[in-house]
Amino acid sequence: MRQKKLFLLIFLCMGLLVTCVTNPLTGQNTMALVSNKELFAASFQQYSQFLSENKVITGTEDAKMVERIGVNIRRAAEKWLASEGKSSYLKDYKWEYRLVDSKEINAWCMPGGKIVVYTGILPLTKTEDGLATVMGHEVAHALLNHGQQRVSASLLQQIGMVGVAIAVSGQSKESQALLLTAYGVGSTLFGTLPFSRQHESEADHYGLILMATAGYNPEASVQFWQRMAAKGSGVPEFLSTHPSHKTRIQQLKKSIPVAKRKAAQLNRSR
């Protein structure tokens, strides 16, 4: 019976692994165990709830800046996808850009184009180019379907946990607990965390192209991350969901010329 369950689980995993979509920006196939239609519906609902529970700032110069950058980056995304003949990719997006009163140094873009910038990050972005760095990065996460991939990876991790539980079910409770813990730590350390760091690096690269196409200076990204680095971080890179500030800055410097060339190409073709 245990072998039969394990066989069925492996068969299910093989079926799940072929559930992929091709991203129009990267041309790469990525996991899609949950559809964007489902993710967008959930994110739109969560976004509305979040705004209702937090102080949204409107009418100020900072709020207008967030809106302006958001619109410019959205247009850059539309231009890019149009150049690839993939304008329909954005048909279900419902763009929205809000500034929220919070000391937290953060910003995010949910699947489907729902964006929040916290006031706490503005002292570090300093300029419109600095904020475009952050917003371009967050929009890139959405366009690259990173939310969909994270949900898919989480589902696979859970399925793997079930598989391990079945495989060790004949052993002592102590051995089962040890092996399940080892799987959890290992799949996080060597799977989930590197996967997340890769997403951050991708969003940095493609975010630079978006901000440059929108008319902002991608070199401001290095200055922004230098200011972030000055705040310090005590988490080693291999234990973090994000690259270290040093790694990030090095990668950005390499991506800036690529972003400028791509932006010039896109803006010439309009």
pLDDT score, position 192: 43
Burial 219-235 (b: 16+ CB within 10 A, else e): bbbbbbbeebeeeeeee
Return d(Cα 63, Cα 187) in angstroms, integer. Answer: 41
Return d(Cα 171, Cα 46) in angstroms, integer. Answer: 43
Tell whether the model's pLDDT for residue 143 goes beyond 50: yes
The tokens for 40 are 């967008």
Chain segment 68-105, per-residue pLDDT in tens: 999 999 999 999 999 999 999 999 999 999 999 999 98
Nearest in space to 214 (alpha carbons), one of 80, 92, 82, 108: 80
| SS3 (DSSP) at 109 | strand
Return d(Cα 3, Cα 105) in angstroms, integer. Answer: 50
pTM score, two decimals? 0.75
The average confidence (pLDDT) of the chain is 79
* Mean pLDDT value across residues 199-218: 94
Bridge-partner residues for 108, per DSSP?
A: 116
* Mean pLDDT value across residues 26-37: 75
Percent of the chain with pLDDT over 90: 50
pLDDT score, position 146: 77
Catalytic residue among 67, 96, 138, 174: 138
pLDDT score, position 136: 96
Tell whether the model's pLDDT for residue 107 goes beyond 80: yes
Return d(Cα 236, Cα 244) in angstroms, integer. Answer: 7
Active site residue 138: yes
Tell whether the model's pLDDT for residue 221 goes beyond 80: yes
- Of 230 and 73, more confident: 73
Tell whether the model's pLDDT for residue 180 goes beyond 80: no
Tell whether the model's pLDDT for residue 27 goes beyond 70: yes
Return d(Cα 16, Cα 209) in angstroms, integer. Answer: 32
Q: Structural domain boundaries of the chain? A: 34-268
Read off the amino acid at residue 68: R
Tell whether the model's pLDDT for residue 187 goes beyond 50: no
**The CA-based dihedral angle spanning residues 91, 93, 97, 103, taken in that order and rounded to the nearest 10 degrees:** -160
